[in-house]
Chain A
């Protein structure tokens, strides 16, 4: 099993550009989440999904869109990048109802100029 994979690993954008961060898991987990990590701020939840076709907002959703068309994939879209979105982004997945099964991807380091 590859677990949770994320692409790209690094990305530099200019303000106003759009892009999609990819996340995939091969553990058949229903639950997938996106977090951002900023220095001194811990991990903050952006969006999450409890299954295909179902998504919900987390703590910091503004400026991000998600969709969940399959169990395996949960892409995160930045529609118009801003410098405040410079961060490290982590995707995670877990079994529904089993918090101790949450696995993280390796992260995407995004810089917005």
Chain B
């Protein structure tokens, strides 16, 4: 089935640093979603992207829908301790299919 490859698997950064992570697919996606999972909680949607080249921000978070439609990037600027968690990319392989998720990027922020 569809697979989304996320990298890096984990990151340890200092508070205040910027963070970048990405997600690639072997096939085209029409929607890219980025979720964050806090420890002990269910994932929560951060950003949704709908067309190739789109750049969308949500506070300190910025995500981009790759031109090839096979990748997406998430950047977090000026990280803070509450950014700790697992970040997942996801998308439906076609309009109404279930969401496929990457394996996640685990972010740790050192104060």
Beyond A104-B44, A106-B41, 16 extra complex contacts between A and B, CB < 8 Å: A31-B96, A33-B99, A35-B101, A40-B103, A41-B103, A42-B6, A42-B101, A44-B101, A50-B96, A90-B42, A92-B42, A96-B96, A99-B91, A103-B45, A104-B43, A105-B42
- Chain A contacts to B: CB under 8 angstroms: 4, 31, 33, 35, 40-45, 48, 50, 58-59, 90, 92, 96-97, 99-100, 102-107
How far is the CB of A4 from the nearest CB of chain B, in Å? 8
Task: Please give, as numbers and ranges, the residues of chain B lying within 8 Å of A44 by CB-CB distance.
Answer: 101
Interface string of B79-105 (1 = CB under 8 A from A): 000000000101110011011111110
Which bucket holds chain B's interface residue count?
20 to 34
Task: Please give, as numbers and ranges, the residues of chain A lying within 8 Å of B48 by CB-CB distance.
Answer: 99-100
Number of A-B residue pairs at CB separation under 8 A: 57
> How long is the Cα–Cα vector from A50 to B97 in the complex, in angstroms?
9
How far is the CB of A77 from the nearest CB of chain B, in Å? 19
Task: Please give, as numbers and ranges, the residues of chain A lying within 8 Å of B96 by CB-CB distance.
Answer: 31, 50, 96-97
Contact of B102 (CB < 8 Å), options: A42, A50, A90, A104: A42
